Structure 1
Amino acid sequence: MDYYDHIELAIRFMEKNLTENIRVEDVSKNAFQSRWYFQRIFRYVTGYSVYTYLKKRRLTEAGNDLILGKEKIIDIALKYHYATPESFLRAFRSEYGVNPSDFRKSSDHINFPRLAIEPLRNKVRIDGSQIKTTVITKNEFILIGKPHRTTMQKCQNEKDIPKFWGEFMGNALMESIPNRINHSLMGIYTNWDYAENFDVIIGAQVKSDTKIPDGFVIHRMKPAKYMVFTVPGNTNEDILNGWKYIYGTWMPNTGYEREFSDDFDLFDDRFQSNDNPESEIYIPIQ
């Protein structure tokens, strides 16, 4: 069974349970994957988060029920697990641009169809031929950094993370971190929740007895084996394409299993090179 098979299991489970009170944890469990890891694979392979896919499919089926006209709007809202008619109205209007009552009267009905797995297997993927890989083992280390919160919903993280880095560098926050082990910068991704919100901690590796400056946090990384991806380029697009390649192409097609630990970016002197700039992405593996 490959990762596409796991995704197919997840899609089948969601389609079967659109009117049931299921969560992302339930979906990943039925795909035989950890929630934290499966969210990333699903997002980069399908283009949608698990949360977003489930929401879109429920709203599509709710729209179909509206067209049939056999149920009251409040009953349809409850059927698809919206706590109030108001929350259903907001979600429906955000998705379709009209209120449920107007949608029912309209002849223009837009659907979000069930995803088919074979086109996902065969779609053109990001070229990773220039990305080098190596396996290393790292002992426990400690990072002090500036924390931020973002989400994968609507690709908000792709806008937020460059902004977080811009603020960090623009305010020279690296200088506020004492007892740094080296001059490298790291971005750690952690504390994922069911709705694909997560923390981004930008900072540096420090000595174990370092005092935490105000406004910063300490984050301890446990010993782990990593697949290290050396990504050419130093633009935001280069880095993002590296992540998309790892979770959208490399992971689904190599059979490696991800370890339950945090992944991170590392930027050292090579990132500022005028000739061949590059950065590293660390993915914990079993």
Structure 2
Amino acid sequence: MITNQWVNQSIDYIMRHLDEEISVEDVADHCHFSKYYFSRVFKEKTGESIYAFIKRLKMEHSAVRLKTEKDKSITDIGSDYGYSPSNYCSAFRKHHNISPTEFRKDSNTTCVPHPFYPDKIARFQSFAEYDQHILIQELDDFLVIYERHIGNYIELGKNWHDFTEKYKEYLKEDTLLIERSYHDPSITNVDQCLYDICMTVDENCSLDNVTTIQGGKFAVYRFDGLIEDIFVTFQGIFNIWLAYSDYVMDERYGLDIYRNVDRENRHVVMDLCIPIK
């Protein structure tokens, strides 16, 4: 868990400005620290240098767009992250061990390997099957207590247990438990996935780790099934529904809103929410 307030603020800053030329100095200045001191703190808390973190996110976020924005050229997507065509191809291949063209071609598929269960293949449904379960909704902002993690989603169960125990005094009948995810585990190394676990709270909460999750327009899919099948459904929505719909993913990040959890039987009902425009 990342407990350093300034590191979390710097990550938020990087996320908001990922389509710009961000320097290590920019990040350190935003947090009002010297470049050398803050670089050391950032690497200590995240396991990566600021420069490596920014570069990795640019490569991984651009890969998501290659997968979901079929009609946008590779050159334009690379340019959105500050790369010339040749530099983007070189940087992408170095990070993903495949060219952007080959990656886009390979993503046009009906199944992918399951990163959390290596013996399984995630097989997708048709566009029509996803589309009949998706509602386009305007969600309000959420004021939440949050904790930020970098690591494997397989650890979510334990992290959620610890989180709800720590903040059980804030749990009410209408409290929502929400995950905010920043990475696609079919693209990002599973041990480097960034995510927030959150619970809604009223405006009088005086804790330091309170933030607002931006609402807006979302494509909402009601998932009702086993925990291990969440990845399959999410990938199907991205690879099939979003890629061939009339929508584009917005710069906000995906949310999972829990409606019911049966830990004993590993069954969950939740809304998978994709920000769209």
TM-score, scaled to structure 1: 0.51
Q: Does 1:206 align with 2:201?
A: yes
Which of residues 179, 182, 188 is equivalent to 2:180?
188
Q: Which residue of 1 aligns with 2:75?
A: 9
Which of residues 247, 251, 260 is equivalent to 1:256?
247
Residue 241 of structure 1, CA deviation:
1.3
Residue 190 of structure 1, CA deviation:
4.9
Q: Against the structure 1 CA distance between its residues 7 and 177, is the aligned structure 2 distance closer, same or farther, given a 3 Å change threshold?
A: farther
Q: Which residue of 2 aligns with 1:57?
A: 93
Residue 203 of structure 1, CA deviation:
2.1
Q: Does 1:265 align with 2:256?
A: yes
Q: Which moved more, 1:134-143 or 1:112-121?
A: 112-121
Residue 133 of structure 1, CA deviation:
0.8
* CA-based RMSD: 4.2
Q: Does 1:218 align with 2:274?
A: no
Q: Against the structure 1 CA distance between its residues 136 and 112, is the aligned structure 2 distance closer, same or farther, given a 3 Å change threshold?
A: closer
Partners of 2:134 and 2:221 within 8 A in 1: yes
Of the two, which has the highest radius of gyration? 1
In 2: Cα distance, 1:207 partner to 1:121 partner: 42
Q: Which residue of 1 aligns with 2:110?
A: 124
Percent identity, please: 14
Partners of 1:184 and 1:269 within 8 A in 2: no
Q: Against the structure 1 CA distance between its residues 230 and 114, is the aligned structure 2 distance closer, same or farther, given a 3 Å change threshold?
A: closer
SS in 1 for 2:271: strand
Mapping for residues 1-286 of structure 1, pairs under 5 Å: 3-6=69-72, 8-9=74-75, 25-27=81-83, 54-55=90-91, 57-58=93-94, 115-116=101-102, 119-120=105-106, 122-125=108-111, 126-128=123-125, 131=130, 132-150=133-151, 160-169=152-161, 172-173=164-165, 175-176=167-168, 178=170, 180=172, 182-190=174-182, 199-212=194-207, 217-235=209-227, 237-269=228-260, 277-286=268-277
4+ residue stretches of structure 1 with deviation over 4 A? 53-56, 111-114, 195-198, 270-274
Partners of 2:153 and 2:193 within 8 A in 1: no
Q: Deviations over 1:220-249 (max 9, x none)?
A: 0233111101123132x3111122112222
Partners of 2:92 and 2:100 within 8 A in 1: no
In 1: Cα distance, 2:155 partner to 2:102 partner: 35
SS in 2 for 1:268: strand
Partners of 1:187 and 1:266 within 8 A in 2: yes
Q: Against the structure 1 CA distance between its residues 173 and 200, is the aligned structure 2 distance closer, same or farther, given a 3 Å change threshold?
A: farther
In 1: Cα distance, 2:92 partner to 2:107 partner: 22
In 2: Cα distance, 1:263 partner to 1:7 partner: 24
**Which residues of structure 1 form unaligned runs of 5+?**
14-21, 31-50, 60-94, 96-110, 151-159
Q: Which amino acid aligns with 2:93?
A: R
SS in 1 for 2:72: helix
Partners of 1:139 and 1:223 within 8 A in 2: yes
Residue 273 of structure 1, CA deviation:
10
SS in 2 for 1:162: helix
Partners of 1:145 and 1:218 within 8 A in 2: yes
In 2: Cα distance, 1:121 partner to 1:221 partner: 30
In 2: Cα distance, 1:256 partner to 1:146 partner: 30
Partners of 2:260 and 2:269 within 8 A in 1: no
**Which residues of structure 2 form unaligned runs of 5+?**
1-67, 112-122
Q: Against the structure 1 CA distance between its residues 114 and 263, is the aligned structure 2 distance closer, same or farther, given a 3 Å change threshold?
A: closer
In 1: Cα distance, 2:269 partner to 2:261 partner: 6
In 2: Cα distance, 1:162 partner to 1:198 partner: 11
In 2: Cα distance, 1:118 partner to 1:190 partner: 20
TM-score, scaled to structure 2: 0.53
Aligned length: 189
Q: Deviations over 1:55-111 (max 9, x none)?
A: 57349xxxxxxxxxxxxxxxxxxxxxxxxxxxxxxxxxxx9xxxxxxxxxxxxxxx8
